[in-house]
Structure 1
Amino acid sequence: MSRNYLLSDSIISPLGFSTKENLAAILRSESALKWHNNSRFFENGYYAGLIDESIIDDKFNELGSPDDYTKLEKMIILAIQQVLDEQPDLEIENTGLIISTTKGNIDELEKSKFSPDRVYLWKMAEVIADFFGFKTKPIVVSNACISGGLAIKTANDLISTGRFINAIVAGGDLISDFVLSGFQSFQAISPEPCRPFSNDRQGVSLGEAAAAILIGPANSDASEKVAYLDATTANDANHISGPSRTGEGLFQSISRLFQHNNIEPSQIDFLSAHGTATIYNDEMEAIAFNRAGLDHVPVNSFKGYYGHTLGTSALIESILTKHSLLSGQLFNSINYSASGVSQDLNIIEKNKKKDLTLALKSASGFGGCNLAMLLKKGGI
């Protein structure tokens, strides 16, 4: 069976404007979460990972006029450009573009700088595709916080059916007043940098970022590549914003994925969790992982580095998981203090080297959506 691989990639975040810069920051246990003032929603400010648009504009000046594009469009374009720079022989006419996002240009509702249709997800995707001259219409995947992982699955499925030879999956989300007010209405935002799976966690921290990755066949030495094996989704149908207390949807995603691919829990070397640091998400994940027999597997959350980047989170975390496999590096779950969930988990508390072959990436989101994905170093 032919496989598709996670090839060139890019991460644009407060930690750096390339994957290399982001990995270096993570190895230093550096967090993007800083204190910001916002008297409209927070009396004492809030912690988040934000990118100054002037920095984005400085980078974007090399590609085009910053005034012609929204902040999010510029971030996603910068990420895609880095992927294309690493793939000079890529035939764009045979390459699809898949965009993952939850809110897109929602911040433009307050600014009215561009035409009203720019706030629509399809229009944002069209603007980005036109910038690069993609020949096929871009596809938008917007399914809450599993969007980034689901976009990778969608790319693989479309390549496998012959729709494209390759596909670039790109995504991004911003921390707008719309997003802040929504999470604050749930009283879900932590007054300090988030602490996934910890007994002193107080909620989620938010972040903004963009990322891009090329998905497709690999003709070179497969030992230096990471293959996409499979992904499975399930919806727990529990509540619009609250996950199943038994972790049923995530458990079903993982167990079906293992069954379809003849995988035993003991074969998983690393688990990248969703890990938002909310009371219910972390508890649900701990239960689901234990039900799936994964309590022994080294697990982390990258939310302490970036905050929750919404529709980009699973995409960024899949890229980081890819590089964990390639480098044999387990990254610590930053800000973790002591266990605050009812089930045992093997939380990674410091960076360490380990032989890694098979990794599991999980994601969950509003509406009860859940995803589990298998990535393998070396191919089939």
Structure 2
Amino acid sequence: MAKTYLSYNNIHSNLGFNSETVVENISKGLSGLDRYEDASLLPGPFCASLISSEKIEDEFNKIGDASKFTKLEQMMILSLKKVVDPSNIPLNEKVGLIISTTKGNIDVLEKESEFPKNRAYLSELGKIIQNFFGFKNESIVLSNACVSGVMAISVAKRFISEGKYDNVFIASGDLVTKFILSGFNSFQALSAEPCKPYDKYRVGINLGEVSASVLVTSSKEGLPAEAVEILGDASRNDANHISGPSRTGEGLFRSVKAALNEANITSAEIDYISAHGTATPFNDEMEAIAFSRLGMELVPLNSLKGFFGHTLGASGLLETIVGMHSMEKNILFSSKGFTELGVSKHINIIKGNTPKMLKVFLKTASGFGGCNTAVIFKKTTTNQP
């Protein structure tokens, strides 16, 4: 099987419009979360990570007419352009495009929107991004709840391994909208204060908006310093409940186990876990149980939700990119908001930025409908110390 690598990458968030700036701000402990009181979005106060529409438009007008594109389209195009351009890869028939999102342009269904309602179709989002860049192949839209971003990496790897593509670009994004906020509020899961994943005193979930992009490639030539090899991946569905995860962590346990088997390594060889960590009691407890069952109680683990909130279908790709840079810098970033363990099983939460020689890391994600995805990454020989 051909080796596959994560190469050029970009994060577009309110912590910065490129991966390097975002990672630098994370290393400084800066969070993009803020408290909002906006009755047009939600009757009560909420805490979220939002990107200024004006800043997005100003940036987009440098490359196109912002008035013709929705906020999400602008964000995703801006992010993807910062991956496509430095790659210098001709967009021929051997290049694929995957769009990962949970709700896409859901905000165009609101009566205030100036865009036609058909823009809410995920296929339209895919076509718009495909046509902007001139991809020869039709975009593949992947929408599988909150595992979408990391699952896109698995799908890209498979396309390359079977020879359909040599290179696959992934663009991922989601917005904080009235629809999204009202949905999570109906679960009584939203917090008006910054979230605290795995913490005894957690108060609920925060939402965030971001766009993130990456190149998945079969070529080892010209990889950036933070590039990683994809060792193994797996997805499993526990089919427990439309919104509640398996109480035993069965789906997550099986997905990590299968990824380890494909990577041909043991759990003891994982140096770091970039976990899902939404700061909800059911999710945090399920993950703790799964990692305990896997014998990973001592593996350093963090959730990045305290920096970005939950960015839905973009979260897995966003957090993978941060993990790539963490590996390259040999630094474990803190799990912001954590002070005291609030789950029944011991897990090794990273309390502060910690230097550590890193070679292999595990990224996991779990989402509504019982979906669970795990991907294992390894430093390439080009960035070994």
Question: By the TM > 0.5 criterion, same fold?
Answer: yes
Amino acid at match of 1:15: L
Q: Structure 1 184/378 Cα, relative in aligned 2: closer, same or farther at 3 Å?
A: same
In the alignment of these two chains, the number of paired residues is 379
Amino acid at match of 1:195: K
Task: Give yes or no for the alignment of 1:280 onto 2:282.
Answer: yes
Question: What does residue 240 of structure 1 align with?
Answer: 242
1:152-194, Cα deviation, whole Å (9 max, x unpaired): 1111111111211101011100011000000000000112110
Question: What does residue 91 of structure 1 align with?
Answer: 90
Contact 1:318 1:361 in 2 (8 A): yes
1:38 Cα offset (Å): 2.6
1:258 Cα offset (Å): 1.7
Question: What does residue 81 of structure 1 align with?
Answer: 81
Amino acid at match of 2:182: S
Q: Structure 1 12/222 Cα, relative in aligned 2: closer, same or farther at 3 Å?
A: closer
Question: What does residue 321 of structure 1 align with?
Answer: 323
1:232-280, Cα deviation, whole Å (9 max, x unpaired): 0111111100001111110011112222332211100000000000010
Task: Give yes or no for the alignment of 1:207 onto 2:214.
Answer: no
Tell me, in whole angstroms, the C-alpha distance in 2 between the residues paired with 1:162 and 1:139. Answer: 16
Q: Structure 1 35/219 Cα, relative in aligned 2: closer, same or farther at 3 Å?
A: same
Q: 1:165-244 counterparts in 2 under 5 A?
A: 165-220=166-221, 224=225, 225-244=227-246
Normalised to the residue count of structure 1, the TM-score between the two structures is 0.97
Tell me, in whole angstroms, the C-alpha distance in 1 between the residues paired with 2:276 and 2:198. Answer: 10
Counterpart of 2:340 (choices 335, 338, 341) is 338
Contact 2:57 2:66 in 1 (8 A): yes
Q: Any gaps of 5 or more consecutive residues in structure 1?
A: none
Question: What does residue 349 of structure 1 align with?
Answer: 351
Tell me, in whole angstroms, the C-alpha distance in 2 between the residues paired with 1:341 and 1:295. Answer: 12
SS in 1 for 2:358: coil
Amino acid at match of 2:56: I
SS in 1 for 2:146: coil
1:295 Cα offset (Å): 0.5
Tell me, in whole angstroms, the C-alpha distance in 1 between the residues paired with 2:224 and 2:48. Answer: 37
Q: Structure 1 41/55 Cα, relative in aligned 2: closer, same or farther at 3 Å?
A: closer
Tell me, in whole angstroms, the C-alpha distance in 1 between the residues paired with 2:324 and 2:21. Answer: 15
Tell me, in whole angstroms, the C-alpha distance in 2 between the residues paired with 1:300 and 1:327. Answer: 16
Question: What does residue 270 of structure 2 align with?
Answer: 268
SS in 1 for 2:229: strand
Give the superposed CA RMSD.
Answer: 1.5
Task: Give yes or no for the alignment of 1:258 onto 2:264.
Answer: no
Contact 1:232 1:257 in 2 (8 A): yes
Normalised to the residue count of structure 2, the TM-score between the two structures is 0.96
Amino acid at match of 1:359: F
SS in 1 for 2:47: strand
Question: What does residue 164 of structure 2 align with?
Answer: 163
Question: What does residue 24 of structure 2 align with?
Answer: 24
Question: What does residue 61 of structure 1 align with?
Answer: 61
1:222 Cα offset (Å): 7.5
Contact 2:228 2:324 in 1 (8 A): yes
Q: Structure 1 266/222 Cα, relative in aligned 2: closer, same or farther at 3 Å?
A: farther
1:113 Cα offset (Å): 1.6
- Identity level (%): 47
Tell me, in whole angstroms, the C-alpha distance in 2 between the residues paired with 1:85 and 1:70. Answer: 22
1:45-75, Cα deviation, whole Å (9 max, x unpaired): 1100001100001100111000000000000
Tell me, in whole angstroms, the C-alpha distance in 2 between the residues paired with 1:213 and 1:222. Answer: 12
Contact 1:146 1:371 in 2 (8 A): yes
SS in 2 for 1:146: helix
Q: 1:295-310 counterparts in 2 under 5 A?
A: 295-310=297-312
Tell me, in whole angstroms, the C-alpha distance in 2 between the residues paired with 1:165 and 1:259. Answer: 25
Q: Any gaps of 5 or more consecutive residues in structure 2?
A: none
Question: What does residue 8 of structure 1 align with?
Answer: 8
1:75-124, Cα deviation, whole Å (9 max, x unpaired): 00000110122222x11113111000010000000134222211100001
1:223 Cα offset (Å): 10
SS in 1 for 2:145: coil
SS in 2 for 1:287: helix
Tell me, in whole angstroms, the C-alpha distance in 2 between the residues paired with 1:61 and 1:28. Answer: 31
SS in 2 for 1:20: helix
1:40 Cα offset (Å): 5.6
Amino acid at match of 2:177: S
Q: Structure 1 253/327 Cα, relative in aligned 2: closer, same or farther at 3 Å?
A: same
SS in 2 for 1:220: coil
Tell me, in whole angstroms, the C-alpha distance in 1 between the residues paired with 2:169 and 2:203. Answer: 36
Moved more, 261-270 or 5-14: 261-270
Contact 2:2 2:160 in 1 (8 A): no
Question: What does residue 249 of structure 1 align with?
Answer: 251
Tell me, in whole angstroms, the C-alpha distance in 1 between the residues paired with 2:381 and 2:84. Answer: 23
Tell me, in whole angstroms, the C-alpha distance in 2 between the residues paired with 1:127 and 1:41. Answer: 26
Contact 1:223 1:379 in 2 (8 A): no
Moved more, 210-219 or 39-48: 39-48
